[in-house]
């Protein structure tokens, strides 16, 4: 009975084709086949097809992003983790091959006459030169190969994590840069409003001195001045915080020439989204790919756990030369060798192997849930970005019209106030409405630019 299994065992050893890991199948994506209809969106390239250098059009921003990619510590850490995983993969891959060691040794001993058979002191010399391998495991059941493949999947997962970190960093730098530009514009608006209010306050004071205005009008004019003065101080503080945030991302001093001006300008091209874009595109996102590689690693680990239930075959062998004299070490007849194969068969381990296998299976189930959850999160991020994008043009057009109408209303109210036809209260209300509309317009323009960046990022973004 035992002899009948030797041909099968020999075939397994020579072929090395036994793999106990389950066949990998990509889990079903728990999301809709496509996002909401996007017929109003233009057809063209999607985020993953456009490199970030092509997407961000402002050269100052692009240079800051390049500095961040060179200096940012989060990205450095992600790169070091990739390098470490790559080294660990090489270690596991090396286990597939026997390790050969060469050694040369000499032993010298002296036996006193009182202990020797001849009654005289004896000095002996032994020399040896050997080439051998130690405890090389024949990977009959694929344990070593599974450990190698598991390390490879971990390396690939961290590679995708690094890609995701880079895409996020590029997007964060752009968002911080645009936020600084918007706050610069808000500060300029507040300064212009303060200048205007100071002029109005001075005019109201002079009118009051001549009896043309009431003390109430003077007090009302002063409140607008102090409110504008407070806004100026607030935005000055916010700009300093914006610079600190940008400096942290870039991890170096910020060259003044690369900072935005006092007007929020377009810094990113619009990412065109084809109508009816399939949600399967999400499977190319780096975070989704990373989750899938982690799932594959857990699946492979089941094979390594199963192999522990089967015999383990190891080989130890060496060959060389031995001699009592150094001169005779390589002479004819001095050859020596040893060959020590061994097989270990698990009999009783108190349930350790079974528990290890159960743990590996549960870990795979955990990673399936993690992968599907990552897909769901990615789907929602894209859906939310598309939802914002679908109404932005109309919102900006409406806000622009509101700002224009508020400006006209203020100009008319101010002219009537200066002509003495109405009280300062009407002019003040019109000025506040204009100021608020202008601030909201800046915010909406920032939202539109940020949405482009967000959409580019959540679609997988070009990272090269």
Domain span including residue 150: 26-102+141-311+354-459
Do the domain assignments include residue 9? no
Spatial separation of the C-alpha atoms in residues 148 and 11, rounded to whole Å = 22
CATH of the domain at 257: 1.20.1600.10
Question: With contact defined as beta carbons under 8 Å apart, do 157 and 293 qualify?
Answer: yes
User: How many domains, in total, are found in the chain?
Assistant: 1
Do the domain assignments include residue 446? yes
Spatial separation of the C-alpha atoms in residues 254 and 240, rounded to whole Å = 12
Give the dihedral of Cα atoms 359, 360, 363, 365; nearest 10 deg. Answer: -110
CA distances to 222, 238, 271 from 407, rounded to whole Å, are: 21, 26, 33
Per-residue pLDDT 10s for the chain (464 aa) are 334 444 544 554 445 557 889 999 999 888 776 554 443 344 445 555 567 787 888 889 999 999 999 999 999 999 999 999 999 999 999 888 888 888 777 787 777 877 777 778 777 777 777 788 788 888 889 999 999 999 999 999 999 999 999 999 999 999 999 999 999 999 999 999 999 889 888 888 887 888 777 888 888 888 889 999 999 999 999 999 999 999 999 999 999 999 998 888 777 766 655 555 566 677 888 999 999 999 999 999 999 999 999 998 888 888 777 766 666 666 666 677 788 888 989 998 899 999 999 999 999 999 999 999 999 999 899 889 888 988 999 999 999 999 999 999 988 988 887 777 777 778 888 888 999 999 999 999 999 999 989 988 888 876 55
Do the domain assignments include residue 130? no
pLDDT attached to residue 284: 81
pLDDT attached to residue 368: 96
pLDDT attached to residue 215: 86
pLDDT attached to residue 214: 80
pLDDT attached to residue 336: 76
Do the domain assignments include residue 317? no
pLDDT attached to residue 277: 59
Radius of gyration over every alpha carbon of the chain, rounded to an integer in angstroms: 38
Spatial separation of the C-alpha atoms in residues 127 and 110, rounded to whole Å = 15
* Bridge partners for 199 per DSSP: none
Do the domain assignments include residue 133? no
- The C-alpha angle 188, 189, 190, rounded to 5 degrees, equals 90
pLDDT attached to residue 271: 60
| 146: CB partners within 8 A, 6+ apart | 19, 20, 21, 300, 301, 303, 304, 307
Question: With contact defined as beta carbons under 8 Å apart, do 65 and 174 qualify?
Answer: yes
In Å, how far from its chain's centre is CA 418? 59
pLDDT attached to residue 355: 96
Place of tokens 């810094």: 267
């Amino acid at each position: 009975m035992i002899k009948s299994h030797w041909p099968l065992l020999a075939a397994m050893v020579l072929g090395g084709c036994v793999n106990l890991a389950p066949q990998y199948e990509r889990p079903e994506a728990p999301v809709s086949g496509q996002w909401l209809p996007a017929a109003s969106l233009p057809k063209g390239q999607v985020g993953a097809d456009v490199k970030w250098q092509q997407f961000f059009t402002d050269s100052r921003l692009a240079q800051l992003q390049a500095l961040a990619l060179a200096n940012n510590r989060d990205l450095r850490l992600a790169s070091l983790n990739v390098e470490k995983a790559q080294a660990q993969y090489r270690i596991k891959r090396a286990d597939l091959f026997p390790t050969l060691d060469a050694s040369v040794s000499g032993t010298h001993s002296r036996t006193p006459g009182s202990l020797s058979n001849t009654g005289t002191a004896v000095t002996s010399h032994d020399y040896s030169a050997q080439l051998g391998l130690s405890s090389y495991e024949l990977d009959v059941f694929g344990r070593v190969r599974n450990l190698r493949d598991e390390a490879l999947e971990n390396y690939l997962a961290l590679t995708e994590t690094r890609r995701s970190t880079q895409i996020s960093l590029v997007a964060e730098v752009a968002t911080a840069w645009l936020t600084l530009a918007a706050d610069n514009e808000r500060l300029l608006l507040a300064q212009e409003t303060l200048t205007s209010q100071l002029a109005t306050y001075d005019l109201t004071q002079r009118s009051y001195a001549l009896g043309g205005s009431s003390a109430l009008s003077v007090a009302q004019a002063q409140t607008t001045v102090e409110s504008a003065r407070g806004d100026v101080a607030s935005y000055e503080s916010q700009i300093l915080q914006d610079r600190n945030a940008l400096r942290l991302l870039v991890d170096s001093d910020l060259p003044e020439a690369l900072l935005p001006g006092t007007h929020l300008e377009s810094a990113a091209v619009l990412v065109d989204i084809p109508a009816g874009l399939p949600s399967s595109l999400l499977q190319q996102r780096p975070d989704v790919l990373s989750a899938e590689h982690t799932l594959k690693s857990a699946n492979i680990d089941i094979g390594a756990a199963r192999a522990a239930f089967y015999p383990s075959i190891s080989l130890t062998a060496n060959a060389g030369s031995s001699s009592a004299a150094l001169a005779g070490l390589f002479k004819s007849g001095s050859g020596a060798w040893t060959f020590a194969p061994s097989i270990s068969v698990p009999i009783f381990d108190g349930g350790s192997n079974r528990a290890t296998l159960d743990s590996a299976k549960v870990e795979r189930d955990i990673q399936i849930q993690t992968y599907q959850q990552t897909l769901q999160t990615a789907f929602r991020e894209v859906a939310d970005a598309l939802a914002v994008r679908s109404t932005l043009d109309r919102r900006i057009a409406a806000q622009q019209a509101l700002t224009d109408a508020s400006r006209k209303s203020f100009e008319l109210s101010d002219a009537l106030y200066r002509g003495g036809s109405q009280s300062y209260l009407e002019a003040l209300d019109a000025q506040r409405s204009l100021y608020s509309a202008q601030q909201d317009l800046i915010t909406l323009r920032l939202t539109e630019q940020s949405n482009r960046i967000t959409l580019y990022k959540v679609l997988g973004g070009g990272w090269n």
